[in-house]
A = this chain, B = another copy of it.
Amino acid sequence: MKKLKKGDSHVEKMRFTQENVNIFAEISGDSNPIHLNAEYAAQTPFGKPIVHGFFAGAVFSKVFGTQWPGEGTIYMFQDMAFKAPVFVEHDYYAKFEVLEVDEVKKRGVIQCVLEDANGKIAIIGQAKLMHTERF
């Protein structure tokens, strides 16, 4: 399996459905109507329902655990700055870039961005991962 190097990148296209947001609200207990109720959301500055930040950010975890670096990833740290709302039923891109690799400790620091189809950043942060084969 090829090791990741500084500067390596990955992109994942995403779309969050209202149905999955409703399910996330149920299992997490976060039933804030801003996520669930279009009429309520229309009265807020956002104008329409937004995805829970932790459900939106979970795309980073999904990519790390299942694709890039992939199975065997140990998740050590993540930060997320919520810069703009993530709307349901819109296209988003999760973009990743390797910022640092420590080949001795088998660790990497990854820049993580979730942006809309116009390149507007919704979430930005960094992840710290360990993977014995890919760093």
Task: State the A residues within 8 Å of B (CB).
Answer: 20, 23-24, 27-32, 52-55, 57-62, 65-66, 71, 75-82, 125
Contacts and interface: CB of A to CB of B under 8 A. Distances in A.
Contact of A79 (B54, B59, B75, B78): B78
B62 A30 contact: yes
Interface centre among A20, A29, A76, by most chain B C-beta atoms within 10 angstroms, is A29
Number of copies: 2
Contacts of A75: 53, 82
Interface centre among A30, A54, A57, A79, by most chain B C-beta atoms within 10 angstroms, is A54
A27 B61 CA distance: 13
Contacts of A60: 54
